[in-house]
Homo-oligomer: A and B are copies of this chain.
Amino acid sequence: MNEAQSLIRLPNPPSVTAWSSTVGQKESEGPLGGCFDLTEPDSRFGQTTWEQAESELQRRTLNLLLSKAGIAAEDISCLFAGDLINQCTSSTYALRHLDIPYYGIFGACATFAEGMQLAAAMVSGMELPHCAVLTSSHFSSAERQFRFPLAYGGQRTPNAQWTCTAAGAVLLGPTGAPPYIRGILAGRIRDLGITDASNMGAAMAPAAADTIARYLSATRTRPADYDAILTGDLGLVGSRLLMQLMEQNGYDLRGIHRDCGVMMFDQNRQDTHAGGSGCGCSASIVCGYFLPRLQSGELHNVLYAATGALLSPMLCQQGESIPGICHAVHLSHESGKEQAS
């Protein structure tokens, strides 16, 4: 096996030149509540349906990104966007009246990292000046699509995760100032046979272990070289499994591993069981918490390994298992261009 088959070297590590995040009420009441740019107490975002609400969530996040960056929609070279609602609905409807070249992407809750990888490649290799990434999730639109209608009032299982109402957006540009995207690694699908749509942490953990181990091996780095190895939303169940799987691979992640699903909510106070999830979960936390600290130099290296359960409601009904994927993005205060790898 060619270990480096998908370690994509960025000839010119791009900078994250702007970022923005928006969350709903429940997310704003969690431990990271103060980190996000915008909070909206109305879960419908002033719209009629949950799907329209999620589109409005994306629009607001994108508008804030443009305003922070001081550019217009027409200045964006291309935008990678996606969400959980079939088929990339929230993104499509958020962008339909804007003159922005648009690539729809789907990596479930790993969509934000998938977009960061592709945008980084476009900036680094194609020398595009402004490439953006935008993803979202909404508790109510996701619950309806993937599990039960909200009005049904179904009881949640202990290992269930709570889809965050949240969105994040980044703008990437040519190398200039921190934070930088220093390395990217595309995920491979892993499927160990989990069929419980309420246990996505277990479905995603093998993919996370695969991608993190491959990244460490291909770059000849160790967990201690990072301030954090940050998974997307494995939650409490998936995080425990990841620690075990990595230990079997000879890696000790204790003290280094963090998980956005665990960070988003206070499990004792907020009744979210195994933690948060959704495309917007890690997107909003990377934008709200990590990028500012990577910019200031409080943090130097974060391996963001976003995880996605490539869940299809119909295939679950047909008894199929849930494939998982994990895309890795190395975020750094240093561009790494002058240093030995």
| A interface residue numbers (CB < 8 A to B) | 1-2, 5-6, 8-11, 48-49, 51-52, 74-78, 82, 84-89, 92-93, 95-108, 114, 117-118, 121-122, 124-128, 145, 185-191, 310-315, 318, 320, 323, 325
Contacts and interface: CB of A to CB of B under 8 A. Distances in A.
Contact of A105 (B103, B122, B313): B103
Given A8-B126, A104-B310, 13 more contacts: A5-B101, A6-B101, A8-B77, A51-B314, A51-B315, A98-B189, A100-B188, A101-B186, A102-B186, A102-B325, A104-B107, A121-B121, A125-B125
Given A105-B105, A114-B103, A78 B186 contact: yes
Given A6-B77, A49-B318, A125-B126, A87 B186 contact: no
A67 to B, nearest CB: 19
A22 to B, nearest CB: 21
A108 B75 CA distance: 25
A244 to B, nearest CB: 22
Nearest to A100: B188
B124 A1 contact: no
A70 to B, nearest CB: 16
A89 B314 CA distance: 9
A190 B5 CA distance: 37
A328 to B, nearest CB: 11
Contacts of A117: 103
Contact of A51 (B8, B106, B318): B318
A121 B126 contact: yes
Contact of A86 (B92, B124, B127, B312): B312
Given A75-B5, A312-B85, A93 B320 contact: yes
11 contacts: A6-B78, A11-B126, A48-B318, A87-B106, A87-B310, A87-B311, A97-B191, A104-B107, A104-B114, A105-B105, A122-B125
A189 B95 contact: yes
Contact of A2 (B74, B126, B189, B320): B74
Contacts of A128: 8
A97 B9 CA distance: 26
A23 B247 CA distance: 46
Contact of A312 (B92, B118, B315, B323): B92
